Amino acid sequence: MTAKNLPFERAEYDLRLARVRNSMAEKSLDALIVSDPSNMSWLTGYDGWSFYVHQCVIVSMDGNPLCFVRAQDANGAYRTVWMPDDDVHGYDEKLVQNLPLHPMQELVGVLNGRGFAAGRIGVEMDNYWYSAQAHVELVNGLTEATLVDATGLVNWRRAIKSAREIRYMKIAGQIVTDMHRRIRERIEPGLPKNELVAEIYHAGCMGIDGHGGDYPAIVPLVASGADASAAHLTWNDQPFKSGEATSFEIAGCYKRYHCPTARTIFLGHPPQRFLEVEKAVVEGIDAALEQAKPGTQCQDLANTFCAILEKRTGIKKQSRCGYPIGISYPPDWGERTMSLRPGDQTPLQPGMTFHFIPAVWRDDWGLEITESFVVTESGAETLSNVPRELVIKE
């Protein structure tokens, strides 16, 4: 095996592990089963497209974490985690998608062998990658143990980014800036959407200034006309049309760290409603980002934006205005903790990173202008450099 090329120094992984163990101690946990691939990577460095099968990282109060993956993926773990090979367990191939056999049956044996047969074990209950059947298998196999919901325990520890993490996100911001530049240059009536999306992918993978791009956790969201009234539609092979607006929500990604940025492009002359909403949205974003200082609550940004939008346009925004971002894997680039919305009183702290997405979706049209930013000691610093405007291309 050749030397590993880890994205972070060992000291950073040690600090992350210590943060998680502090939270485990608060919940009196003996062990924690981490199934979220973003959390797995953040703790160990593991990086592979293997999250379609069961896998996890086991964290105890001492010693190294254990990376529990399909045997076929063990070599990938050996190549990417900071721990020695002895801390990787590859489970038997016969357990893969072969009910009533299940990988958690082997995990039960691993946990028993490590002394957790009667322990308090945390699991990420509300998690895309931890299935109901996985939980049933653990409950049935660990009859003397107590399974405790630890959803978000690791996610919250990821909230404040290190200097290296922010550097990676700024590189992702440079990448997405270039992706939007390519969109503005290439889009025109008659161009099939899939051809432009191919350009988006090309720019995202090529990266910037010698930094190669990674795949984002969400595919390009590209919707035109009435389809732009929906938040999460992808592209098709239909041509762009004059007289229509298209929203592009895309992200640059570098070493799994994301910088999403959305803009809307109107081909032709936009109706007055677009211009009025654009003015209100930009004003609201400016005012909200001006507030994004340490100590400000998450809800303050949303309340500020929504008040300006309603005052200027009469539109009441119902959806949240943003969420934290960072390291991530499909299907989501959010961290699934706090939200920029009324009622969330979480105070901002230096090093927190957010996608501020005060998008407007109406019955038959939509407008997206978003910014990703990091909270600094003095305020918000945006991570990309895309003109904050409705792009009009005659």
Secondary structure, 3-state, 138-207:
HHHHCCCCEEEECCCHHHHHCCECCHHHHHHHHHHHHHHHHHHHHHHHHCCCCCEHHHHHHHHHHHHHHC
- What does the block give as tokens for 343? 């009622």
Report the pLDDT value the prediction gives residue 2, as an integer from 0 to 100: 57
Radius of gyration of the chain (CA): 22
Q: Alpha-carbon distance 109 to 254, whole Å? A: 37
- What does the block give as tokens for 340? 């920029």
pLDDT mean for each 10 residues of the chain (394 residues) = 82 98 98 98 97 97 97 96 97 97 98 95 96 97 97 98 98 98 97 98 97 97 94 95 97 98 97 95 97 97 97 94 98 97 98 96 94 97 97 93
Q: Alpha-carbon distance 338 to 298, whole Å? A: 8
| Of 94, 106, 12, the residue nearest 55 (C-alpha) | 106
Report the pLDDT value the prediction gives residue 254, as an integer from 0 to 100: 98
- Helices and strands (H, E) in the chain, number of each type: 10, 16
Report the pLDDT value the prediction gives residue 353, as an integer from 0 to 100: 98
Give, for 18, the enclosing helix (H) or strand (E): helix 10-26
119 Cβ partners below 8 Å, 6+ apart?
A: 30, 31, 111, 145, 146
> Which residues on neighbouring strands pair with residue 147, listed in sequence order?
121
> What pTM did the predictor assign?
0.96
Report the pLDDT value the prediction gives residue 394, as an integer from 0 to 100: 85
Report the pLDDT value the prediction gives residue 57, as an integer from 0 to 100: 98
Report the pLDDT value the prediction gives residue 4, as an integer from 0 to 100: 81
Report the pLDDT value the prediction gives residue 3, as an integer from 0 to 100: 67
The DSSP symbol for 35 reads -
